[in-house]
Amino acid sequence: MTDTTKQELKAFSVQADEYGCIVFAKSGIVARRQGANELDTEFSMIESCRRVPALDKYAGVKGGVPWKVLVEEHDWSQECPYCCRRVSNDEPDRVWNDTASQVYCDVECQARQEDVERTWTAEALAKSSNQRNKEVV
């Protein structure tokens, strides 16, 4: 994406029901359409499409606006991947996994989720190893 194209794109917060997204577009109507597609909903189900000039600088950035910026600076929330509770910037015990751009309710939820992921990885490796052993025999 060229610098000129990036400068033309504007950030929009598109909200539908309980979910939302940030899209970059040249106009509100285009942003609304892109947001509906991203949220997998009908155009008519979009509740709001508002400009967020503070996020324009993320146009063209791989991965878009980091979740940490949305939660900490723009009052968004994210589901804790372990317990599915909504976590916002007013949650005093929240913990960020910056490599995954994920927020947890607290260190306990983070530790439990990491245990689950280690178990899944170990099971996948064991299954893969068993499959290779069967193919060799």
pLDDT higher than 80, residue 3: no
The model's pLDDT over 23-78, given as tens digits with 9 standing for 90+, comes to 999 999 999 999 999 999 999 999 999 999 999 999 999 989 999 999 999 999 99
Q: What is the mean pLDDT of the chain?
A: 90
> C-alpha distances in angstroms, 27 versus 6, 12, 46?
13, 9, 15
Q: Which 3 state secondary structure label does DSSP give 13?
A: strand
Tell me what percent of the chain is helix, strand and coil, each rounded to the nearest 5: 45, 20, 35
> C-alpha distances in angstroms, 36 versus 31, 32, 108?
8, 6, 35
pLDDT higher than 60, residue 6: no
Q: Which 3 state secondary structure label does DSSP give 65?
A: coil
Count of Cβ atoms closer than 10 Å to residue 37 Cβ:
13
Give domain limits for the chain. 1-64, 66-137
